[in-house]
Amino acid sequence: MRPISYSRAGDVAGAIATVASDPTSDFLAGGTTEVDLLRQNVMLPRRLVDINDLPLTQIEDRPDGGLYIGALARMSDVAEAPTVRERFPLIREALVLGASAQLRNMASMGGNMMQRTRCAYFRDAASPCNKREPGSGCSALDGFNRGHAVLGVSDHCIATHPSDVAVPLMALDARIHTEGPRGRRVYALDDFFPEPGDTPHLEHPVEHGELVVGIEVPGMPAARTSLYLKVRDRESYEFALASVAAVVPMTDGVIGDIRLALGGVATKPWRARRAERILRGAPAGREVFERAAFEELLPARATPLNAFKVELARRIMVRALETLTGTRSPS
């Protein structure tokens, strides 16, 4: 691992000023991405600015019934918070199904939004990779790409977005609050995670030195009944092959303001808008669920190795919808 220097920040302005002053500085939160990739020579900062002492650990109720989660709240603390358990079970489930108990104690919510892809070629500093080294090519296109994305892909990058909790946050229209050298900003989550296009190295709209300070989740009473379903190669301590976050409000058997998002299959936390359009206002039932899931995956672009994800994503969407609407036949 290359040598680095270290500063510990005591206040937000100092942390930002320090990172902004030097293009080779990075923020350090839980370190579960940063230290890992530093050791792999994938991230090459000269200096780390430790932000763990900043007062950004709040998990607060908002007057609209929503939440505000500080960037340094740990995944484990957010998962255990009574208000999250009661009002946003899909957020809790996505958190406890991610990583391991130790990693969740370390990993911060802000760091989770900023984590990097698990694409093996990205993590191997010797392989060509457009995300790590713009213009060098994408080793995954013709490589081992079983875990890669089928939605939102481009000819330049097919890396899967790895976060679990970003999936329910996408379904709930969460917003990212930042503070940077040029002031405070608020981003819709959808804008915070652009598709790779021909610039896969640009993963977020933030500028260097811009600090994520918190995540705002708007109130949604229907989210009290919601779920996050995750399918993976082993039962625990593994990233998703496919996952779905769902909130399905119903009145007299008719679907209301439904929220559906997919993980593990796309280059960003994927809002299933095609499916939502078909389902909104429709009577709940297997047929319309299957049609919605089918339509959502129509734009999928798969490789021979990851083609199974198309069907897998459809099936877990149907399963989540049946479970939440109580139409699932016992099997």
Interacting residues toward ligand SF4 by CB under 6 A: 117, 119, 121-122, 129-131, 138-140, 157-159, 200
Task: Among 162, 168, 180, 196, indicate the residue that binds ligand FAD (CB under 6 A).
Answer: 162
Q: Report phi then psi at 18, rounded to 5.
A: -70, -50
C-alpha to C-alpha distance for 139 and 133, rounded to whole angstroms: 12
Q: Which of 262, 266, 272 is nearest to 296 (CA)?
A: 272
In the complex, the smallest distance separating the C-beta of residue 229 from ligand SF4, rounded to whole angstroms, is 25
Residue 274 interaction partner, one of ligand FAD, ligand SF4, other proteins, none, beta carbon < 5-8 Å per kind? none
In the complex, the smallest distance separating the C-beta of residue 201 from ligand SF4, rounded to whole angstroms, is 9
In the complex, the smallest distance separating the C-beta of residue 244 from ligand SF4, rounded to whole angstroms, is 23
Residue 159 interaction partner, one of other proteins, ligand FAD, ligand SF4, none, beta carbon < 5-8 Å per kind? ligand SF4
Please give the structure tokens belonging to residue 171. 């379904």
- Please list, in sequence order, all residues whose beta carbon lies within 8 angstroms of the beta carbon of residue 326, skipping any fewer than 6 positions away: none
In the complex, the smallest distance separating the C-beta of residue 34 from other proteins, rounded to whole angstroms, is 9
In degrees, rounded to 5, the angle at the alpha carbon of residue 242 between the alpha carbons of residues 238 and 248 is 120
In the complex, the smallest distance separating the C-beta of residue 189 from other proteins, rounded to whole angstroms, is 10
313 part of the interface to ligand FAD, by CB under 6 A:
no
Q: Report phi then psi at 135, rounded to 5.
A: 90, -5
34 part of the interface to ligand FAD, by CB under 6 A:
yes
The residues that touch other proteins, with contacts defined as CB under 8 A, are 1-9, 11, 13-18, 20-22, 28, 30-32, 35-36, 38-40, 46-50, 52, 76, 99-103, 105-106, 175, 179-188, 191, 205, 235-237
The answer to whether 178 and 204 have CB atoms below 8 angstroms apart is: no
DSSP 140-205: TTTS--TTS-SBS--SS--PPP--STHHHHHHTT-EEEEEETTEEEEEEHHHHS---TT-TT--SS
User: Which CB atom, from 25 or from 306, has the smaller least distance to ligand SF4?
Assistant: 306
239 part of the interface to ligand FAD, by CB under 6 A:
yes
The identity of residue 309, as a single letter, is: K
Question: Which residues make up the interface to ligand FAD (CB under 6 A)?
Answer: 26-34, 36, 71, 98-99, 103, 106-108, 110-112, 114-115, 162-165, 211-212, 239
